[in-house]
């Protein structure tokens, strides 16, 4: 028994000394401070050396997000406005704010979207970055879409259906919209191409569906890029 106790004490002593020599804070920062003499006189704290400058958790896919938008039956001025909207989409997707808004979106008291197809907020964000449209299913990090102009004196801003690769945009609204509003509508319709849906009539939960909620995010954050 005595031998055991002595052994255990020795082992615990060894453990202590081991962690001290290996994990001492002065030892740890030494390799970093050797190349920066200013640390010696205290003008630069070790923290400022270690802390990376303005790092973000934004995935690389958010910054590399591309668009492949085919404009059909556009006039030159319509094309100019639409190009501005497409540019706004790319700029908003590349922001930390867009990521944060999707990850923190709440509906019915929980961090979720309505009609989310069983996906978590993080999975929805990833699906946007993957950009695998239901009709082509390739995760190419690219919004692939056709856009057609039409005019109708209805309250429909735009529409699409699952069997076509393009969206239809009503010039009645397009003509009045600012580019960030066009961007929001474009994104809404494109989210249908990723397979997201919403109630067809006005309901309490419809604004919390993926196409509506994320479309509004693009529109609102897009104001910063007008």
* Residues near Zn ion, by CB under 5 A: 211
Rounded to the nearest 5 degrees, what angle is found at the Cα of 111, between the Cα atoms of 108 and 113?
70
Tell me how far, at minimum, the Cβ of 211 lies from Zn ion, in Å: 5
Task: Please identify, using beta-carbon distances, which residue of 211 and 222 lies nearer to Zn ion.
Answer: 211
Fill in the DSSP letter of residue 114.
Answer: B
CB nearer to Zn ion: give 33 or 165: 165
Closest separation in Å from C-beta 54 to Zn ion = 37
User: Among 1, 7, 214, which Cα is nearest to 114's?
Assistant: 214
The dihedral formed by the CA atoms of 78, 84, 85 and 88, expressed in degrees to the nearest 10: 180
CB of 134 to Zn ion, least distance (A): 14
Q: CA-to-CA distance for 152 and 91, rounded, in angstroms?
A: 31
Residue 210 beta carbon to Zn ion: minimum distance, rounded to whole angstroms? 10
CB of 188 to Zn ion, least distance (A): 6
Q: Which is nearer to Zn ion, 39 or 192 (CB)?
A: 192
Specify the residue, 39 or 211, whose C-beta has the smaller distance to Zn ion.
211
Tell me the pairing of strands 166-170 and 142-150.
parallel
Q: Which is nearer to Zn ion, 95 or 185 (CB)?
A: 185
Residue 148 CB, shortest distance to Zn ion, in Å, is 16
The b/e string for 104-137 (b: 16+ C-beta within 10 A; e otherwise) is ebebeeeeebbbbeebebeebbebbbbbbbeeee
Q: Which residue is nearest to Zn ion (CB)?
A: 211
* Angle ∠(143,147,149) on CA atoms, nearest 5: 160
Closest CA to 169 of 67, 75, 65, 68: 75
Beta carbon nearer to Zn ion, 99 or 192:
192
């Amino acid at each position: 028994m005595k031998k055991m106790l002595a052994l255990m004490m020795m082992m615990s002593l060894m453990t202590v000394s081991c962690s001290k020599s290996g994990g001492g804070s002065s030892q740890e920062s030494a390799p970093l401070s050797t190349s920066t003499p200013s640390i010696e006189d205290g003008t630069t704290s070790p923290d400022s050396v270690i802390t990376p400058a303005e790092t973000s958790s934004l995935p690389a896919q958010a910054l590399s997000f591309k668009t492949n938008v085919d404009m059909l039956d556009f006039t030159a001025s319509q094309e100019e406005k639409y190009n501005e909207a497409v540019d706004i989409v790319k700029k908003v997707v590349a922001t930390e704010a867009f990521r944060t808004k999707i990850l923190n979106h709440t509906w019915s008291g929980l961090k979720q979207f309505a009609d989310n197809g069983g996906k978590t907020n993080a999975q929805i964000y990833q699906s946007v970055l993957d950009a695998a449209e239901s009709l082509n299913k390739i995760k190419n990090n690219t919004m692939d879409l056709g856009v057609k102009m039409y005019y109708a004196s209805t309250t429909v801003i735009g529409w699409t259906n699952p069997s076509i690769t393009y969206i239809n945009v009503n010039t009645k609204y397009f003509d009045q919209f600012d580019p960030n509003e066009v961007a929001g509508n474009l994104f809404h319709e494109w989210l249908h191409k990723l397979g997201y849906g919403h109630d067809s009539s006005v309901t309490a939960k419809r604004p919390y569906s993926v196409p509506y909620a994320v479309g509004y995010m693009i529109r609102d954050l897009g104001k910063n890029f007008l």
